[in-house]
Amino acid sequence: MYRHIFKYELKKMTADRTLWVLSTILFLFTILSVFNGSAWINFQLENIDKIEAGQRHRLEKHINDIKEYNAENDFIGVGAPHNVSSIGTYTMHYIVKPPHPNALFAIGQSDLYPYYIRFSSIDRANMLINEEVVNPVNLLIGKLDFSFFIVYLLPLLIIAMTYELLASERESGTFTLLRIYQPKTLKFLFFKWLFRVLWLLAVLYIGILTGMLVFSPFSLMQYDSGTLTIIGFTTIYVLFWFAICFAINMFGKNSLFNGIALTMFWLFIVFLLPTVINTGMEKRYPLPSRNEQIVRQREVKEGTDEKETYNHYLKKHPEYQAFKSDTVGNSIITKWYPAYIVTTAAIDSINDLDEARFSRALSMQETGLEKLSFISPSLMTNLAFNQIGRNSLMDYENFNKEFTTEQQRWRAFVYNKILRGETFRAEDLGYQSNFIKSQHNTIPIRALLLNKLLWILLLSAALMALGAIQFKKSIKR
pLDDT digits (tens, 9 = 90+) for 48-70: 999 999 988 988 888 888 877 76
DSSP letters along 153-216, please? IHHHHHHHHHTTTTHHHHHHT-HHHHGGGHHHHHHHHHHHHHHHHHHHHHHHHHHHHHHHHHH-
- For the cut 90, the answer to whether the pLDDT of residue 334 exceeds it is no
Bridge partners, residue 116, by sequence = 96
> What span, in angstroms and rounded, lies between the C-alpha atoms of 402 and 439?
10
Q: Is pLDDT of 325 > 50?
A: no
Q: Greater confidence, 280 or 10?
A: 280
Q: What does the DSSP 8-state code read for residue 94?
A: E
What is the number of alpha carbons within 13 Å of residue 83 lying toward its C-beta? 20
| DSSP-based three-state secondary structure for 93 | strand
- Out of 232-241, 321-330, 345-354, pick the least confident: 321-330
- The pLDDT assigned to 76 comes to 63
pTM: 0.85
324 has pLDDT over 80: no
Note the pLDDT of residue 327: 44
Tell me phi and psi for residue 30, to 5 degrees. Answer: -65, -45
User: Which residues are CB-contacts of 225 (< 8 A; sequence separation ≥ 6)?
Assistant: 445
User: What is the C-alpha to C-alpha distance for residues 421 and 322, in angstroms, rounded to an integer?
Assistant: 9
Q: What is the pLDDT of residue 451?
A: 83
Query: What's the confidence (pLDDT) of residue 180?
Result: 59
Which one is predicted more confidently, 136 or 30? 30
Give yes or no for a contact between 88 and 419, defined as CB atoms under 8 angstroms apart. no
> 173: phi > 0 → left, psi -120 to 50 → alpha, else beta; which?
left
Q: How far is the C-alpha of 245 from the C-alpha of 427, rounded, in Å?
A: 68
Nearest to 287 by CA among 343, 180, 362: 362
Give the CA angle between residues 431, 434, 440 to the nearest 5°. 105
- Binned at pLDDT 50, 70 and 90, residue 182 comes out as low
* pLDDT averaged over every residue in the chain: 80
Residue 476: pLDDT band (50, 70, 90) is low
- Per residue in 363-410, pLDDT tens? 898 888 888 888 999 999 999 999 899 998 888 888 988 988 888 888
Helix or strand (DSSP H, E) at 311: helix 306-316
- Band of pLDDT at residue 329, cut at 50, 70 and 90: very low
Detail the DSSP E strand segments found in 240-284.
Answer: none
77 — pLDDT class (breaks 50, 70, 90): low
CA-CA distance, 235 to 384, in Å (whole number)?
14
- Strand, helix or coil for residue 117: strand
119 forms beta bridges with 93
pLDDT tens-digit series, residues 91-145: 788 899 999 999 999 988 888 888 998 888 775 544 544 455 555 555 555 678 8
pLDDT in tens, 440-454: 777 777 666 678 888
- Report residue 378: phi and psi, to 5°: -65, -40
First to last CA, the chain: 27
> 327 vs 166, which has greater pLDDT?
166
Q: What tens digit of pLDDT does each residue of 183-217 get? A: 577 887 888 898 899 999 999 999 999 999 999 99
The H or E element spanning position 221 is none
The per-residue pLDDT for 440 is: 77
Contact predicate 246/162, CB 8 Å: yes
In this prediction, residue 138 carries a pLDDT of 57
